[in-house]
Amino acid sequence: MQCAELVSYLSDYIDNNLSEELTREAQEHLATCQNCHIVLDSTQRTILLYRQRGQRAGLSPRRHESLFNQLAETLASRPAEPNCE
């Protein structure tokens, strides 16, 4: 699994909506990719915050877009991760 793929599955991963196979692939990727770990962390915090406010917890397309941007920035500001593909 690649970073962009992981990010696109992220909200489903957090909600446990992925198939067993995809969940395993996501976990394997997260275990080796620090960048996606950071993105997962901040996404989980955001979703938690929404839920505490009683708002809809899903990620809007706009939120997805900003996640991709955040990931791109994170990747650009760090040395390449050899395991991150």
Among residues 3 and 47, whose Cβ is nearest to Zn ion? Answer: 3
Residue from 7, 10, 14, 33 in contact with Zn ion (CB under 5 A): 33
Among residues 50 and 64, whose Cβ is nearest to Zn ion? Answer: 64
Residues in the interface with Zn ion (CB under 5 A) total 4
Token reading at 6: 């992981």
Cα radius of gyration (the chain): 13
Which residue, judged by CB position, is nearest to Zn ion in the bound state? 33
How many other CB atoms are found less than 10 A from the CB of residue 82? 7
> Cα separations (Å) of 82 from 32, 41, 47?
9, 21, 29
Residues that bind Zn ion (CB under 5 A): 3, 33, 36, 84
